[in-house]
A and B are shown apart, each in its own frame.
Chain A
């Protein structure tokens, strides 16, 4: 289902942002780096490219050691078609990183990200009927589950073809650590002075029931896992329907940890009995799509091997 044409268009898109040689020297270093070193157009791009170019978030303005900064970098490195991807964010810590990202991104209001993405995806489909334009939503748990829940779910009900990623830090981090719907029961936080009175909202299950074709809940302790999950989520959303990825990105500040302790916190939470044990759901059409893609890649590898063997 992923057409040859879409692959050709990828390279066309990279052509579009080339700098005229006469103007190269006066362009901002980020732009020079983007056209000369970016991973755009590289089909095998992934988390191992982090650190090789500025477009994969050279700097960020989050707290030192914030797991969200790791998650952000893994996700950007894993997008299968960044040169034709538009991201939609929301208010919160994520909105502090988006200005550094070399992908068009929209911040409009708090909580309306899935509504914005619905309109955006449809507009891009109308304007570019023969090209692939991926839309990816990335927002915090307050935006996704509390203030924006209506629009999160309605986009899934309508089978809007984009990926929703939720950075779950189990509270409102950017405003200083208030209770959120994804917070654990009993956690004492601002606006929950007696401890949170109700259970963590089970959005992954709700996502499955709401029509998402691929739902994953995990931490961001393993970059290779995030790479696979993000690629799957984007490809399935592109071809079939909505996908949802919920990533534990603990707010080390608000849970009383030091900068170096974010990774361990995630590892502690992802044990088989932990609340962020890796869970995955896939619809039948999604399974079939991934199987098709895997088969095609296998064929490609076999053909390459054959070529190498012949040359030897």
Chain B
């Protein structure tokens, strides 16, 4: 066959299409000091995006607008503001059906408004990447950080990753497409972070060279036909399944749903390769473990440092990938733990529930501390939770209880 690889050639901005492994793992990195929103922009500059569709909602508006600047500079094929998140996610679907690499961002109530689209994305096997900068969804109106919306995404068939830092974000945006677009996966990715804490704070981030970009998306590696009339459009079926109440119809839908979750299972090997595992662990031989995701991990790290000063040894499990759920990894990492502390930025404690459903002797799980509605999580309240579990007396904090 003719060699049609574009690796080594340049795009119209002069960036070189680079093998992703070379770009992410071998190319020199430059230190920068950016907000999370600016980091999203820098990742997208290098992501060979065909279509990005934007809509304003705090705290993702800045990132979505910055990507508009990239479009104006010529780094993105097309870009526009949609009329609502429901419409935007449908516009993303249309672009992905048409064979484009698609990117969008949303948050909180936007995620909820768009929700009908997500199982459709997964069912249609559209490898769209959506950044979710989590915020509260409750009434009274809140724009503050809160991770409850992630729990609504868990059964949609989307891959769900939860970044802790801006560096995670930068790397995972680029690597995310590599996992999503694998022919044996081909599912959308919700790449989540805690709004404001990640989007609006500055952090040191190591960037890959600006003159390198991802290889373009090849829609003909999709497991379902691209809707561009470039392959035979023959009649798909004699009777539309939607109208039939018979075994063939049920079996078709059932096998299609199972295939989506099987594709998610098949994503594990790719995610493990690109993210170096679905979880990260430190000192998991300790009696006490903090197991969580997102910026709760960062607060957990601080708590571990405070407790180390007092001679209490605590290990850490950072869950990077929430869907597919790292069941085996969590069982293995928690096998020695007597106390499993799950700090979370939401009121329901969905992460603790997931962990309880995974491990033996789940009474070891302490579903907290939990903060919500934009509250910060001082490491001291994690320390206190751990001391309470250990039966160690601790100083009560003003304003708590």
> Which residues from B are CB-within-8-Å of A238?
none
> Which residues from B are CB-within-8-Å of A85?
229
> Which residues from A are CB-within-8-Å of B227?
86, 104-106, 120
* A112 part of interface (Cβ distance < 8 Å): yes
Taking a contact as CB atoms under 8 Å apart, the answer to whether A122 and B51 are in contact is yes
> Which residues from B are CB-within-8-Å of A28?
234-235
Q: Which of the residues B91, B94, B95, B235 comes within 8 Å of A102, measured between beta carbons?
A: B235
Q: Which of the residues B225, B229, B231, B243 comes within 8 Å of A84, measured between beta carbons?
A: B229
Quick check: which of B18-26, B77-85, B310-318, B392-400 contacts chain A, the rest being far away?
Answer: B77-85
Bound: A106/B99 CA distance, A: 13
Q: How far is the CB of B232 from chain A (nearest CB, A)?
A: 4
Please, which residue of chain B has its CB at the minimum distance from the CB of A122?
B78
Taking a contact as CB atoms under 8 Å apart, the answer to whether A151 and B87 are in contact is yes
Taking a contact as CB atoms under 8 Å apart, the answer to whether A103 and B233 are in contact is yes
A93-140 with Cβ < 8 A to chain B: 95-96, 98-106, 108-109, 112, 115-128, 133
The contact string, 1 if C-beta is below 8 Å from chain A, for chain B 105-127, is 00000000000110010001000
> Which residues from A are CB-within-8-Å of B86?
112, 115
Q: How far is the CB of A6 from chain B (nearest CB, A)?
A: 14
Q: Which of the residues B93, B96, B232 comes within 8 Å of A34, measured between beta carbons?
A: B232
* B236 part of interface (Cβ distance < 8 Å): yes
* B31 part of interface (Cβ distance < 8 Å): no
* B73 part of interface (Cβ distance < 8 Å): no
Please, which residue of chain A has its CB at the minimum distance from the CB of B84?
A150
Taking a contact as CB atoms under 8 Å apart, the answer to whether A61 and B94 are in contact is no
* A146 part of interface (Cβ distance < 8 Å): no
* A16 part of interface (Cβ distance < 8 Å): yes
Chain A binding site: helix, strand, loop or mixed by DSSP? helix
The contact string, 1 if C-beta is below 8 Å from chain A, for chain B 340-377, is 00000000000000000000000000000000000000
Taking a contact as CB atoms under 8 Å apart, the answer to whether A115 and B97 are in contact is no
* B159 part of interface (Cβ distance < 8 Å): no
Bound: A126/B234 CA distance, A: 25
* B185 part of interface (Cβ distance < 8 Å): no
Taking a contact as CB atoms under 8 Å apart, the answer to whether B228 and A104 are in contact is yes
B208-247 with Cβ < 8 A to chain A: 225, 227-240, 242-243
Q: How far is the CB of B68 from chain A (nearest CB, A)?
A: 15
* A83 part of interface (Cβ distance < 8 Å): yes
* B38 part of interface (Cβ distance < 8 Å): no
User: Interface size class for chain A?
Assistant: 35 or more
Bound: A17/B230 CA distance, A: 8
> Which residues from A are CB-within-8-Å of B238?
59, 99-100
Q: How far is the CB of B99 from chain A (nearest CB, A)?
A: 6
* B153 part of interface (Cβ distance < 8 Å): no
The contact string, 1 if C-beta is below 8 Å from chain A, for chain B 52-91, is 0100000000000000000000000110101110111011
Bound: A101/B238 CA distance, A: 10
* A88 part of interface (Cβ distance < 8 Å): yes
Taking a contact as CB atoms under 8 Å apart, the answer to whether A116 and B50 are in contact is no
* A52 part of interface (Cβ distance < 8 Å): no
Taking a contact as CB atoms under 8 Å apart, the answer to whether B232 and A127 are in contact is no
Given contacts A83-B229, A133-B229, A150-B83, contact A119 B90 (CB under 8 A): yes
* B92 part of interface (Cβ distance < 8 Å): yes
A1-43 with Cβ < 8 A to chain B: 13, 16-17, 28, 30-31, 34-35
Q: How far is the CB of A256 from chain B (nearest CB, A)?
A: 23
Q: Which of the residues A61, A95, A108 comes within 8 Å of B120, measured between beta carbons?
A: A108
Bound: A80/B369 CA distance, A: 64
* B98 part of interface (Cβ distance < 8 Å): yes
Bound: A102/B236 CA distance, A: 8
Q: Which of the residues B80, B96, B242 comes within 8 Å of A158, measured between beta carbons?
A: B80
